[in-house]
């Protein structure tokens, strides 16, 4: 006779970039083990693989390979809220006074900040427009490590985030071209073109939380958190 299976509750969430509603369940001991082993390894590739596996296990209706980084971060903190606690308590060191500050974050207050005027299309000339996609978690591997050339890694991420080039009625998908052909296309950009492309990354949505606190001397400080590393603990 088999042991009974514990039914997990389902929750609903809106994916920030697509506004699509999805359902998810809390992670269980099985997923906790996956995450713990990955964290102990301190290997970025292993941690990314674990995160993707947990989302695949717990979330319905998403393609984890196509999730924007900020979407994945938002899913992770909500999984954490429903699985562990919706309150994260921790200490920080005030940058001005060096005193320890005890803080508590309610995960339900954490939102994805969207910037006014942000668009996924970048007009680089009168007749050429770039269609952009957001960075994904696998690209994080290229930005960390002792031997990483950060500038080269950022340039590659920029290339990877250009999805299409539209000229008049013609639509060119960059995945159909070689890296050399894409780099040759980008090499023709002027400083103004690069500035417009950079603006896409500077204004794309980001998971962000701000909390004001009071120091021992009565003055105010502000804690600002962005991304998974701070929240998913």
| Torsion from C-alpha of 37, 41, 44, 47, nearest 10 degrees | 0
**Pair of tokens at residue 175:** 């995945």
Nearest to 88 by CA among 96, 78, 97: 78
What gap in Å lies between CA 33 and CA 52, rounded to an integer? 14
Q: How many residues does the chain have?
A: 233
pLDDT for 45:
83
The model's pTM is 0.82
pLDDT-flagged residues of the chain (< 50): 229-233
- The per-residue pLDDT for range 56-66, each reduced to its tens digit, is 999 998 899 88
pLDDT for 39:
82
What gap in Å lies between CA 118 and CA 203, rounded to an integer? 6
pLDDT for 194:
85
What gap in Å lies between CA 206 and CA 135, rounded to an integer? 11
For the four alpha carbons of 83, 85, 86 and 88, in that order, the dihedral sign comes to negative
Asked whether 8 and 26 are in contact (CB, 8 A), the reply is yes
- Return the domain boundaries, the chain: 11-112+206-231, 121-203
Contacts of 79 (CB under 8 A, 6+ apart): 24, 26, 27, 54, 55, 58, 59
pLDDT for 232:
44
Nearest to 36 by CA among 84, 70, 104, 103: 84
Residue 37 phi/psi, 5-degree rounding, is -60, -40
What gap in Å lies between CA 72 and CA 81, rounded to an integer? 14
């Amino acid at each position: 006779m088999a042991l009974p299976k514990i039914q997990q509750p389902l929750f609903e969430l809106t994916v920030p970039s697509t506004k699509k509603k999805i359902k998810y369940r809390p992670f269980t001991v099985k997923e906790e083990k996956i995450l713990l082993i990955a964290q102990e390894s301190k290997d970025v590739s292993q941690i990314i693989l674990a995160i993707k596996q947990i989302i695949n296990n717990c979330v319905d209706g998403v393609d984890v390979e196509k999730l924007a980084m900020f979407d994945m971060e938002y899913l992770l903190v909500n999984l954490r809220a429903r699985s562990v606690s919706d309150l994260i308590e921790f200490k920080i060191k005030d940058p001005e006074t060096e005193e320890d500050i005890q803080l508590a974050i309610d995960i339900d207050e954490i939102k994805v900040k969207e910037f006014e005027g942000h668009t996924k299309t970048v007009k680089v000339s009168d007749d050429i427009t770039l269609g952009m996609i957001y960075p994904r978690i696998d690209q994080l591997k290229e930005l960390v490590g002792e031997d990483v050339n950060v500038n080269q890694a950022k340039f590659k991420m920029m290339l990877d985030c250009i999805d299409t080039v539209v000229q008049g009625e013609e639509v060119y998908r960059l995945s159909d071209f070689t890296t050399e052909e894409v780099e040759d296309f980008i090499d023709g950009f002027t400083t103004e073109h690069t500035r417009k492309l950079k603006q896409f990354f500077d204004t794309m949505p980001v998971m962000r939380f701000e909390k004001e606190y009071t120091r021992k001397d009565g003055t105010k400080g502000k804690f600002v958190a962005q991304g998974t590393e701070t929240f998913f603990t």
